[in-house]
């Protein structure tokens, strides 16, 4: 196997995430896939105004951490939305007591790093969306 070669994020393919019903979510670039990393997930996600990164959910085994690079997204922590700013980060353990959702309620794009483990036996449970107000 040859040694890894550094990449530039601008050269990494971007894909728009879309729900089964056609709702447009974030635009994501995988930073872990180009290196064949199987146990670690790292994505740069851009959330345009009014979009969310996923549905409200929790994991059975996966740990997740969100780090804000640009903008002011909000995160649902299970009880309320908390507004975030560049440099803020928040992590969620695998638990029904840790449902989470990132949404951009601001009028400018937000860019975040999503970092997580990739356990093969992870189960995702989706919950009804909270009121974004």
Domains and CATH numbers, the chain: 23-124 (2.60.120.10)
User: Residue 82, Cβ neighbours under 10 Å: how many?
Assistant: 12
CA dist 104 to 14, 15, 26, 84, 109, Å?
Answer: 19, 18, 10, 10, 7
Digit-by-digit pLDDT tens for the chain (133 residues) are 678 899 999 999 999 999 999 999 999 999 999 999 999 999 999 999 999 999 999 999 999 999 999 999 999 988 899 999 999 999 999 999 999 999 999 999 999 999 999 999 999 999 998 876 6
- Give dist(CA 85, CA 9) in Å, integer: 22
What's the confidence (pLDDT) of residue 16? 96
CB 40 within 8 A of CB 32: yes
- Give dist(CA 60, CA 28) in Å, integer: 23
């Amino acid at each position: 196997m040859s040694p890894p070669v550094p990449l530039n994020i601008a050269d990494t393919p971007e894909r728009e995430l879309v729900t089964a019903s056609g709702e447009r979510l974030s635009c994501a670039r995988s930073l872990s896939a180009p290196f064949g990393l199987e146990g670690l997930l790292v994505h740069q996600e851009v959330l345009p105004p009014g979009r969310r990164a996923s549905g409200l959910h929790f994991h059975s085994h996966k740990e997740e951490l969100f780090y804000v690079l640009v903008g002011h997204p909000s995160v649902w922590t299970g009880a309320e939305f908390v507004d975030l700013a560049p440099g803020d980060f928040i992590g969620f353990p695998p638990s029904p007591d840790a449902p989470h959702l990132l949404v951009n309620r601001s009028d400018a794009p937000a860019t975040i790093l999503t970092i997580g483990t990739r356990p093969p036996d992870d189960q995702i449970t989706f919950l009804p969306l909270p009121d974004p107000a």
